[in-house]
Amino acid sequence: MLKIAISIHNALQLPVMKKTRLVAGHRGGENSIKWVTIVEVLEDFGRLQPGEFLITTGFGLSENEEKLEVFHQLLKSKLLSGIAIYTSFYMKEIPASFIELANENDLPLIEIPTDINFSEITKAILEQIVNNQMHLLEQAENIHRELTNLILNDQSLTEVTERLAQLTSATIVIYSQLYDVLYANHDNDQNRGINFDQTTISINSKQMDISKHLLDSLGKESVGSITFEDHIFNIYPIMAKQSCFGWIVMTKPETGWQELNDIAIEQAAPIYAIEFLKKQAIEETQLRIQSNFLEDIFNKNYINERAIIDHGLKLNYDLTKSQAVFHFTFKHPNDIDVKITDRLYRLTEQILVQNKKQHIIQTKLNSITFLTNVDGKSKDDKYKHCISLARDILKNWIYYFPTIELIIGIGRDYKEVNQLGNSSTEAQYAVNLHELVGTNTNIIHYDDLGMYDLLLEMQRAGLDLTSIYENQISGLFNEGDKELDLIATLDSYFNNNQSIQKAAEELYIHRHTLRYRLNQIEIKTGLDIKSTEDLLKLQLGVMAYKLVRLLNKNN
């Protein structure tokens, strides 16, 4: 097993150490010597580093209780890889207290005779450490060269992942920024039995979720290591332009781990980052092309229908199928930055691909719009198909971003290309008017707006909606804030199918209070709620009032 350091056991095999004797701490034989330090007078050990191998004469330890206590604490500290003491100079033999503490703390304690020079031991051990370092750097450079050559020869990241796994004898898994497994190698014999299901890792029927460890690594931007079921998992973020594109996770049994693995994962990360940046540049170009294509469709900016259909086929999109527009935005768009919109785009793209849906996507500052084909024989089938697709995307979004609320609007489906602009307008209306359907609604199909569609058609035909509610319910506008109570009462009454009991419960008032309010509405409007015609006038008046207020708010 390759190591930068040298173990105590291997150091004792060096010719210069032939006359030395391991007197205590035999269980620490595999402790790694990272450096050699010679100290004549040990007054404190605050400057010693973990893994150092200390050589000392023990000067003054026998005569000074304070220095002796400091040395006892050092033996207990588990800081050093081992201690070597020259005997016959200032210490005729190693004290029993040293031997006892060394054994208790698995700290190798070595006796060195006076006929061996300090410099010979230091030189021999440091030569081994430096040689290991040089060998390790050569191997790391070879790994970087091989992976780079793969990329320069247009090999995919799948081939890069396979080769990295071969060079390190490890299992390699590449995660996307949304925690999806992009590339994986599971062919390593020593790692068979390890299963990756998204971020859940299973070994010997035991499971561990590494999503938290993936996030923790972002703050460090360095190798994060965890041990699970006698396996080491190294995690390294793939960073570029101050953004995370994903993670490399390398794992192998603890007994086979090498320092080379730590360096290899660091060497590989920039190569993956470069490839992700190239992929991002290609995606951005494709998005611009798709965005322009959608604008041409929605604005009917084409010579004829055949020309735009042919253009779609060049983008691998068939415009002759039944199509609908989906419009996604955020409930609090002012709190959204471009990175969040990019996450939404990537998640949406991923789910559409998984569902084998042809699609054209357009991204904006805090929204995305996409056109896709709609399956189903009947109008109801197509409606359910659209809602199901939206729910799939929303479910995944909530899983990754539970605190960022998403609103999805869906336009009607059309088979004629020249009507797809209507679907786009409808999808945006569905988003902007979602509060008319319900404040807790995140997915709104334009058909869910019901009679509001009639009012929108009237507005598009040039009719002033304000005149509708002013003619019908203007009598409710004479008492300041009380008008809101009466309009809200009327709205709840209609939403609950004119049920006194249900409307009163929704408004948290008594049934008699509701009847009193309805009576006041009749008096102030001059309309009779028992009359079908008057009831329709009241309902249209309330709907027009709500619609105009919401449209003005959005504008």
Predicted pLDDT at 104: 93
Tokens (6 digits) for 341: 């919109």
Predicted pLDDT at 2: 39
* CB proximity list for 241: less than 8 A, separation 6 or greater: 277
**Own/partner pairs, 298-307, CB within 8 angstroms, 24+ separation:** 298/420, 298/421, 298/424, 299/421, 300/418, 300/421, 305/417, 305/418
The answer to whether 218 and 237 are in contact (CB under 8 A) is yes
Assign 86 to helix, strand or coil.
strand
Distances (CA, A) of 422 to 13, 366, 446, 449: 83, 22, 11, 15
Q: Which is nearest to 173 in space by CA: 185, 163, 160?
A: 185
- Residue count of the chain, please give it: 555
* CB proximity list for 40: less than 8 A, separation 6 or greater: 56, 57, 59
Predicted pLDDT at 3: 45
Per DSSP, what are the bridge partners of residue 485?
Answer: none
How far is the C-alpha of 482 from the C-alpha of 477, rounded, in Å? 8
Tokens (6 digits) for 353: 């691909």
The answer to whether 524 and 531 are in contact (CB under 8 A) is no
Predicted pLDDT at 478: 60
How far is the C-alpha of 215 from the C-alpha of 219, rounded, in Å? 8
Q: Which is nearest to 464 in space by CA: 374, 350, 551, 387?
A: 551
Instruction: Look at the alpha carbons of 453, 458, 461, 465 in this order and tell me if their dihedral is positive or negative.
Output: negative
pLDDT one digit per residue (tens) for the chain, 555 residues: 334 578 889 889 988 888 899 999 999 988 988 888 888 766 666 778 888 999 888 887 877 888 888 889 889 988 999 999 888 767 888 899 999 999 999 999 999 888 888 788 888 888 888 887 777 778 888 888 888 898 888 888 889 999 998 888 899 999 988 888 888 886 544 455 788 888 888 888 889 999 888 888 887 666 788 888 889 899 999 988 888 889 999 998 888 887 788 888 888 989 999 999 988 888 889 889 999 999 999 999 998 999 999 999 999 999 999 999 999 999 888 888 888 898 899 899 989 999 999 999 999 888 999 999 999 999 999 999 999 999 999 999 998 899 999 999 999 999 999 999 999 999 999 998 988 887 678 999 999 998 888 888 888 888 888 888 888 887 787 655 555 688 888 888 888 888 999 988 988 899 999 899 889 888 888 888 888 888 888 888 888 888 888 888 876
Q: Which is nearest to 372 in space by CA: 444, 310, 322?
A: 322
The answer to whether 243 and 270 are in contact (CB under 8 A) is no
Helix/strand/coil (H, E, C) string of 403-462? CCCEEEEECCCECCHHHHHHHHHHHHHHHHCHHHHCCCCCEEEHHHHCCHHHHHHHHHCC
Element (H, E) at 234: strand 231-240
Helix/strand/coil percent split, the chain, to 5? 55, 20, 30
